[in-house]
Amino acid sequence: MNKDVYKIRKEFIFDAGHRVWNQELNTIEGVTFENKCRNIHGHTYRVIVELTTENLNDYGVVMDFTHVKYYMKPLIDALDHSFIVDKNDPLFDDIKAIAEKMNLKLFVVDFVPTAENLAKYIYEYLEAKKIPVSKVICYETPTSVAEYTKNRS
């Protein structure tokens, strides 16, 4: 028997800097690529969270969009205009010292801050709040996107 599945998506935008400190690009067919993302740089991130359920709540919705925004707001506010830094980055102590000296906003994580890892981080953030998250899509640029969902099989 088929079950109904309801999905909603809510989009969020934030600006942040980062660096992919461990990036090593391979040479392909004799072409050597510049490791641009090892440099400190920034993006306007576009994040889409998808919530899924088989049963709508008493109001006939998966979750009110206002409530999705409520749960995401503290995270988006913390990320916005921050420098997302992996505490394992060899430059972490230097970056932290500069940020403290200059009163700059850091968002410290325990992973290399790629779009893929940020999508997983946001997914787990919502999952920990018992939100029926099914997918997080993270646009690092308008043409570069990562997606995270849990394998439920």
Annotated catalytic residue: which of 11, 37, 50, 138?
37
Closest to 16 in 3D by CA, of 87, 136, 99, 106: 106
Catalytic residue check, 81: yes
Q: Is 90 left (phi over 0), alpha (psi -120 to 50) or beta?
A: alpha
4-60 pLDDT tens trace: 899 999 999 999 999 999 887 777 888 888 888 899 999 999 999 999 999 999 999
Catalytic residue check, 140: yes
For residue 18, give the CATH number of its domain.
3.30.479.10
Annotated catalytic residue: which of 11, 41, 81, 100?
81
Does the residue 1 lie in any domain? no
Domain interval for residue 139? 6-148
Rounded to two decimals, what is the model's pTM? 0.93
75-84 pLDDT tens trace: 999 999 999 9
Does the residue 120 lie in any domain? yes
Domain count, the chain: 1
Catalytic residue check, 67: no
